[in-house]
């Protein structure tokens, strides 16, 4: 062990012990408050004397927290979300159906006259590799109909919009009606 690491660990422990004593004897804090204050100051000494260790430890904690949350069914988009979650006291959900178990099924499908056989393979080629629950439901439905996927290139999933790809030199989209610029079947007839 190098002399620097011994000095660092000694500084950490000395700071911790001294601030417990100061907190209890001089500041007249409870033992739990004194320990909390001592830990804060000891970590500050550790960060100053050994910034690389903290620089490596903090991202690891965020990764582990994300993994534990994912095992419980909670997905965090960013590390900032995990940090903000510590202050959450209430959670309110709206009624839009965004909370699901992720097992969607296609109950009904409508096609513009004459396009049903042409569209299914293209749609399956576009959505079959996408992990979104709606895409997976469409894939499962089309596969149950023994549809073979068409070759769709340059597939991209765009959060909040849908899926974009290239089929026979044409850009094709599947997703929300605004982004796909879709016209309802009832409007076409």
What are the residue ranges spanned by the domains of the chain?
Answer: 3-85, 116-188
Q: How much is the pLDDT for 47?
A: 77
Question: Which stretch of 7-11, 117-121, 149-153 has the lowest confidence by average pLDDT?
Answer: 7-11
Helix (H) or strand (E) holding 6, with range, is: helix 3-21
Which whole number is the average pLDDT over 43-49? Answer: 80
Give the mean model confidence (pLDDT) for residues 70-99. Answer: 78
Q: How many beta carbons lie within 10 A of that of residue 77, not counting itself?
A: 9
Per-residue pLDDT, 101: 67
Active site residue 113: no
Averaged pLDDT, 121-128? 90
Could you give the CA distance from residue 125 to residue 28 in angstroms, rounded to a whole number?
70
pLDDT band at residue 176 using 50, 70 and 90 as cut-offs: confident
With bands split at pLDDT 50, 70 and 90, how would you rate the model's confidence at 65? confident
What pTM does this model have? 0.47
Is the CB of residue 133 less than 8 Å from the CB of residue 148?
no
Selecting among 94, 113, 146, 154, the annotated active-site residue is: 94
For position 161, what pLDDT does the model report?
Answer: 86
Q: What is the pLDDT of residue 30?
A: 92
**Has domain 116-188 been given CATH number 3.40.1110.10?**
yes
**Between the CA of residue 56 and those of 13, 66, 121, 187, what are the distances in Å?**
21, 16, 48, 58
d(C-alpha 41, C-alpha 54), whole Å: 14
Mean pLDDT of the chain: 80
Q: Average pLDDT, stretch 132-153?
A: 89
Condensed to tens digits (0 to 9), the pLDDT of residues 4-17 reads 444 455 777 888 99
Give burial (CB, 10 Å; 0-12/13-18/19+) of 105: exposed
């Amino acid at each position: 062990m190098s002399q620097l690491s011994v000095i660092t660990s000694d500084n950490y422990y000395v700071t911790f012990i001294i601030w417990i004593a100061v907190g209890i004897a001089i500041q007249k804090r409870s033992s739990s408050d004194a320990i909390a204050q001592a830990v804060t100051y000891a970590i500050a000494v550790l960060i100053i004397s050994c910034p690389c260790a903290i620089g490596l430890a903090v991202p690891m904690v965020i990764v582990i927290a994300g993994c534990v949350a994912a095992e419980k069914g909670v997905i965090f988009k960013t590390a900032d979300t995990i940090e903000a979650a510590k202050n959450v006291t209430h959670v309110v959900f709206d009624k839009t159906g965004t909370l699901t178990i992720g097992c969607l099924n296609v109950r009904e499908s409508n096609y513009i006259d004459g396009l049903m056989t042409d569209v299914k393979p293209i749609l399956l080629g576009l959505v079959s590799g996408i992990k979104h629950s709606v895409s997976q439901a469409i894939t499962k439905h089309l596969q149950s109909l023994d549809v073979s996927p068409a070759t769709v290139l340059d597939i991209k999933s765009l959060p909040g919009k849908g899926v974009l790809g290239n089929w026979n030199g044409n850009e094709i989209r599947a997703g929300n009606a605004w982004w796909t610029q879709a016209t309802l079947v009832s409007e076409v007839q």
